[in-house]
Structure 1
Amino acid sequence: MSDYLARTTHILRRIDELAAISEDATGATVTRRFGTPAFVRGRDLVQRWFEAAGLEVRLDGIGNLRGRLASQRPGAKTFVLASHIDTVVNAGKYDGPLGVLMGLDLVERISQQGIALPFHIELMAFSDEEGVRFHTTYLGSKVVTGAFEPTLLQRADADGITLAQAIAEMGGNAATLATDALPADEWLGYFELHIEQGPVLWDNKVPIALVTAIAGQQRVELTWQGMAGHAGTVPMAMRQDALAATAEFVLAAEAFALGHGRGLVATVGQLRIPYAASNVIPGQVVHSFDLRSPDADQLAAAYAELQAEAKAIATRRGLDLDWQLVQYTAPVACDLGLNRLLGQAIAASGHAVVGLVSGAGHDAVPASAVAPATMAFIRCYKGISHNPLENVEAADVAAALEVAERFLLELKIKNEELKMA
């Protein structure tokens, strides 16, 4: 374990170095949204680490950083190790980058030891998983898996900059996105290391778990259109208050999710009031709505019921409502074969084999459409994520590093046996 702890110290030192690069000039918070100058500086740093490890390195059109450790075996397929290096606003250090830098350590060790693999490894640092800037997740992994939708190029951020413009400004190339995909017949599988972003492992003092499934999600943008007016002169019973309607919907969604359970969660995390003032009745409110469940039927039923509830609120209050579905992602089950190998690696490393469903979305979702995919969760401090308090313990990272190394070696042995059969 001492070797893994020493390697972990190196990984965490790199995490700190990357976290020092932020859109916040004071360095007080970590923010690296897709395509921003801070994102590019951070990616350039990680690229230097990829190159120093001796990988075949390239940037694709969407800005994904891709490092290849090539197999000498003819006809070898590609096993992808990946996570993302973009962040939410006011983020923690570990969501995404930890998986990339642990993957880099694993590839470095394989290369240093001269281990001959029967498959290529492609280590990927995805440029956009969080979807903060353009309100759509998985831009990076959708390009790699061939699922990118060209219509997204015209989507604009809050400053009116389109995705196509952002790609050009960061030195990418929208014209190559269709050819940047790794063809489906060349994939062997996908593996991602990630902090849990939940409290189960922390509360149970378990360092690592295998992910059995990833919840589906629907992201919606709602616009409530009422009538702005003077806060002192319009009687309460005569108002068309868009913010009051929004508040009613937020509480209705919360109550619905609390009442239905089984992994259903509902969140309004972003809200905008145009022309807001303390003495003006809000005439318009635009806000996000994020609905998730590991059960596809439950997700669909909840979506329909909450949309109907929003329309009923608008009717009662005399408002117009625009309900726009921004993104739909179906629930995903992780690959049973890869999970069997991962479970064996966890047990061989002396840990209980714990399976968890991920409520958070991950790049494993688009990857699962083209290849067997799985993930391992690493315990994080109190399950806190998307928050500067996000943290990990070195012993847990070291334990996960050992498990991941065993997993890759088991995968090597399995594929060598298949070739000989």
Structure 2
Amino acid sequence: MTITYLERARRIMARIEALAAISEDADGVTRRFGTPAFVAGQALVRGWMTAAGLETCLDGIGNVRGRWASVRPGARTFVLASHIDTVVNAGKFDGPLGVLLGLDLLEQLAARQAELPFHVELMAFSDEEGVRFHTTYLGSKVVTGAFESSLLDRADAAGITLAEAITHMGGNVAQLPQDALPAAEWLGYLEVHIEQGPVLWERNLPVALVTAIAGQQRVELTWRGMAGHAGTVPMTMRQDALAGAAEFVLTTEAFGRQYGHELVATVGKLDVRHAASNVIPGEVACSLDLRSADATRLASAAAELAARAQTIADRRELQLTWTLVQHTPPAACDAALNELLARAIRDSGQVVVPLVSGAGHDAVPVSRIAPATMLFVRCFRGISHNPLENVELPDLAAAVQVAEQFLMLLAAQND
């Protein structure tokens, strides 16, 4: 009996709901790396993989891995993946949708006892969001051999190091180098993910082809002036650190609006040290998040905003410290795989819409060593990292059809 794509979408949705019920808090979905809720989610996903007939394991960093092996001698591995960790008070779909859609694809292969000319490995990455240890792509960096051992000493808010968290949840720090899939063994990579933006929602289209993932620069700026009594220091004699930071916030917004066709710029965090209503702020820290799919433009934008910040500081007689926190270069999706995915979209009766992802994904570290492609799925009003995150069943069914058609085209191409 043939099961329809809509019925398969309902089964995927039921699993998404079951995984979302595992959370650190009762009000939303929070499943940070290494927490008891994360470990419980690991076990649930691994159980589903095992029941589907996959060869399963947990690797040293806590990635859940399920393999459908090819009988073809010398076969390489095609990876289907996304992540199962979340931000705090997250939605249900960011990450798990890609993992559980991939599981459905492999269940269908197993049900048909399909023979492919390549291995397929489904990976539920352990930490993409980086919430607990202020890291990103931990799971995919281990798989691609890009994990930095210096991160093991990084501590969370409770003082627990990454190494301790890995050990506590049953992982193995010494095993991490052996968990990498060598570059020569990769055939390619597909990640299915909600768009996290409003384009598909506004155009009423179910899926899109990702052409690139924007690079990021994250910076912390510290503004230092002179704290003073709010009632006694004349306005013309102040060195107000908060006023300088506030001017920079508006400068950043104006810059982002001016060049919005090629980048986005955001100040999302402001920390007024020793804040009080009757004290002129003497020290303020703020964040800057810059993103662009053009590496040259990303670098020049950062340099220009740094210069504008320094101009503000000099005019206001403030000291300014500019600290680069994170730099991730843009990642282009593989042209050949994208051509195949575009064909799968058309063959499934959908319009091919090319999009650049402004959000980071595990496809970024993978693209450094292997061909990678991504499929976006429409989400409610483009909302993400929020309990309002939602995907409609017909859109999920369309994504299943496209992804399955892509695998079949890939198999025919490599047969």
Under TM normalisation by the shorter chain, which class is it? over 0.9
Distance between the aligned counterparts of 1:39 and 1:360, measured in 2? 22
Counterparts of 2:174 and 2:273, CA distance in 1 = 36
Q: Which amino acid aligns with 1:12?
A: M
Q: Which deviates the most, 59-68 or 4-13?
A: 59-68
- SS of the equivalent of 1:410 reads helix
Q: 1:53 to 1:278 in 2, by over 3 A?
A: farther
TM-score (norm 2): 0.94
2:186 aligned partner, one-letter code: W
5+ residue gaps, structure 2, are none
1:12 maps onto 2:13 in alignment: yes
Match of 2:285 in 1: 286
Residue 410 (structure 1) aligns with:
409
Q: Does 1:247 align with 2:246?
A: yes
Cα offset for 1:153?
A: 2.1
CA deviation profile, 1:349-374 (whole Å, cap 9, x unmatched): 11111111111111111111111100
| Identical-pair percentage | 70
Equivalent residues in 2 for 1:129-168, closer than 5 Å? 129-168=128-167
Q: 1:396 offset after TM fit, Å?
A: 0.4
Partner of 2:50: 51
**Matches of 1:251 and 1:273, distance apart in 2:** 17
Name the amino acid aligned to 1:13: A
Contact 1:263/1:359 (8 A) holds in 2: no
Aligned to 1:83: 82
Give 1:220 shift.
1.6
Q: What secondary structure does 2:187 align onto?
A: strand
Compare 83-92 and 96-105 and name the one that shifted more. 83-92
* Separation in 2, partners of 1:273, 1:164: 32
- The yes-or-no answer on 1:302 pairing with 2:276 is no
What is the deviation of 1:322? 2.5
Over 3 Å counting, the alpha-carbon distance change for 1:314 and 1:401 in structure 2 is: same
Hey, what does 2:39 align to over in structure 1?
40
SS in 1 for 2:4: helix
Gaps of 5+ in 1: 417-421
C-alpha separation between the residues in 1 aligned to 2:157 and 2:230? 28
For this pair of structures, how many residues does the alignment match?
414
Q: How does 1:272-421 map to 2 (within 5 A)?
A: 272-416=271-415
> Aligned residue for 1:112?
111
* CA 234–154 in structure 1, closer or farther in 2 if over 3 Å, else same: farther
Do the aligned residues in 2 keep the contact of 1:85 with 1:127 (CA within 8 Å)?
A: yes
User: Judging changes above 3 Å, is the alpha-carbon distance between structure 1 residues 269 and 40 closer, same or farther for their aligned structure 2 residues?
Assistant: farther
Q: Which residue pairs with 1:419 in the alignment?
A: none
Query: Which deviates the most, 278-287 or 120-129?
Result: 278-287
Paired AA for residue 53 in structure 1: A
Whole-Å Cα distance in 2 between the matches of residues 155 and 89 of structure 1? 19
Aligned counterparts of 1:61 and 1:272: Cα–Cα separation in 2? 36
Please state how far the C-alpha of 1:20 moved relative to its aligned partner.
1.6
Alpha-carbon deviation of 1:95? Answer: 0.8
Counterpart for residue 67 of structure 1:
66
Alpha-carbon distance between aligned partners in 2 of 1:74 and 1:109, rounded to the nearest angstrom: 23
What is the distance in 1 between the residues matched to 2:182 and 2:357? 27
Distance 2:368 2:85 in 1: 22
Structure 1 position 154, deviation (Å): 2.5
Task: Say if 1:346 and 1:352, in contact at 8 Å, map to a contact too.
Answer: yes
How much is the aligned-residue C-alpha RMSD, in angstroms? 1.8
Moved more, 77-86 or 227-236: 227-236
Distance 1:323 1:36, change over 3 A: farther
Q: Shift of the alpha carbon at 1:265?
A: 0.4
CA drift at 1:78: 0.6
Partner of 2:30: 31
Q: Hey, what's the Cα distance between the residues in 2 that align with 1:319 and 1:155?
A: 32
Measure how far apart 1:313 and its partner are: 2.5
Counterpart of 1:261? Answer: 260
| CA-to-aligned-CA distance 1:87-129 (integer Å, 9 cap, x gap) | 1222111111100110111111111110001111111111111
Give secondary structure in 1 for the equivalent of 2:177: helix
Q: Is residue 206 of structure 1 aligned with residue 214 of structure 2?
A: no
